[in-house]
Each structure stands twice: as structure tokens, then as C-alpha cells.
Amino acid sequence: MIVAERKPLSEIIAKVEGYNRLLIVGCNTCVAVCQAGGEKEVAMLAAALRLRFRDRQPAMEIIERSVERQCEEEFNQVLAEDIAHAEAVLSMACGVGVQTLVEQFPDAIVLPAVNTKFMGRPEERGVWSERCIGCGNCVLDKFGGICPITRCAKSLLNGPCGGSENGRCEVDPENLECAWQLIYDRLARLGQLDRLLEIEPPKDWSTARYGGPRKIVRKDMVL
């Protein structure tokens, strides 16, 4: 899922203090699961902003909404009336959701309330970590299902480097496991250590973000 976290309130306050009618829109998919921008987080942010601006005259009007997937226009259609009424929209969705609102409602001022961090998974309650950078050419089969591009700080395809010590990464030994130690352990478990004898050629990064914004067109789904 896409993992995000709410921006500092001071930053959000600075963005919205010039408006009197604010619509806060959450997204009940990824950012709800990582508790950054779902229905509850919308309610908490709205409450915090009401408290912050409670002495203001005229009072700031704050409308709270949440849609199932802000990255799909169909789910956002119910927002049309509220968006027309609001002076600004504070989106608690990921950057994709924010931009969907912008494209769908071109006259609306849409402000991001969360920082979109990465594609990852919850490791335990309250802890999320990155698992995929979306390089566009998945190589997980070659590395025992552990992505060296995402989980190795240097994205090495022929690791490990000299910074691997006791299974930890030199970049942040306390928090980062060495991806190549994980790959080695996993391949050993699978009886596939011989895979490590293969030299990986340089990766073609044109399928990743470095080839520019990406797009998929499924001809079988387009009339």
C-alpha cells in the first residue's frame, strides 16, 4: 500500500489560515490503513483546526468528508457540491489522490495534508516499511523474493557491499537490515545459493521513474 504521514500541524495551519470555508477530504484506502488520512484522521485534523481557529471571526467553517478511493474520479463525484462551496480543499489522500481532485475539479484549490512516503507494508502495529520503489521491471524472482533495489540502501544488484556488518546496513545499522544478508539467508533456506554466482548486468532504469512519468495503456480495456 501507499504509506503516508500527516504533515506537521504548523505547516497545515499556515496553508489554511487564509480561508474561511475549508473542506477536508480523507481517503479510506491506503492512507486509512496507515492511519494518516482516513475518516478518523480527518475528524482529528478538523477538531484540531477548529480549536486552533476557534476565536476567529467569522468562524472557520470546516466540512469533513472521506471517500473510498480518492485516486479514482468515480468516488469523488459525491464531493462536487462541497468542493464548490469550499474556498479550499485539504486532501488527506496520497499525492495521487490530491492530483486526482485537481484534475477532476480544476477550479478548486487543493492542498496536501499528508506527505506521501513510499509503497510498503506494516511490519507491526505502528511500524511501516518500504518494500517497492516501482522500478517497472520486477526482479524479485532472482533474489529470493527480497528486493535489493528497494531494501538495499545502494540498490545493489550484486551485493553485499563492504558496509554489511552483523546483518545490518552501515547507512543506519540500528534500523536497517542488510538486504543482501536477507537475500543470502533466504536463498540458503531455499537451497538456491548458486543463484548468487550469476552476475547481474546493469539495470535498465528506463522502466523506472528515470524514464519520465509512466503510463500503462491496456488496449483490451480501451474502446
Partner 1 sequence: MGDHQKIVVMACKHSAGEALRELQREGWALPDGVEWVELPCGGSLDELHILRAFEAGAAAVLVLACYHGACRSLDGSRWAEKRVQAIQEMLAEIGIEQDRLEFRNIAPTMPADLASWVEALHRRVLAPAGE
Query: In the complex, which residues of this chain contact partner 1 (CB under 8 A)?
Result: 8-10, 13, 40, 43-44, 47-52
In the complex, the smallest distance separating the C-beta of residue 143 from partner 1, rounded to whole angstroms, is 37
Question: Most distant CA pair in the chain: distance in Å?
Answer: 72
With a CB cutoff of 8 Å and minimum separation 6, the contacts of 121 are 1, 128, 129, 131
- Using the 8-state DSSP alphabet, how is residue 78 labeled? G
Among residues 174, 153, 149, which one has the least CA distance to residue 162? 153
Contacts 24+ apart (CB under 8 A), 8-17: 9/45, 9/48, 9/52, 12/45, 12/49, 12/90, 12/113, 13/49, 13/52, 15/90, 15/111, 16/49, 16/88, 16/90, 16/111, 17/53
CB of 163 to partner 1, least distance (A): 35
Nearer Cβ to partner 1 (126/213): 126
Question: Which is closer to partner 1, CB of 35 or CB of 155?
Answer: 35
CB of 8 to partner 1, least distance (A): 7
Kindly tell me the burial class for residue 70, based on how many C-beta atoms sit within 10 Å of its own C-beta (0-12, 13-18, 19 or more).
Answer: buried
At its nearest, how many Å lie between partner 1 and the CB of residue 48? 5
> Strand pairing partners for 22?
62, 88
Question: How near is the Cβ of 52 to partner 1 at its closest, in Å?
Answer: 4
Closer by beta carbon to partner 1, 7 or else 151: 7
Is the CB of 62 or the CB of 135 nearer to partner 1?
62
CB 104 to partner 1: min, Å: 29
Q: Helix, strand, or coil here: 72? A: coil
| 185/14 Cα distance (integer angstroms) | 49
| Nearer CB in complex with partner 1: 51/222 | 51
Q: What whole-number distance in Å separates Cα of residue 179 and Cα of residue 161?
A: 10
Closest to partner 1 by CB, 8 vs 134, is 8
Instruction: Work out how close the CB of 111 gets to partner 1 at its nearest, in angstroms, rounded to a whole number.
Output: 17
43 or 132, CB closer to partner 1? 43
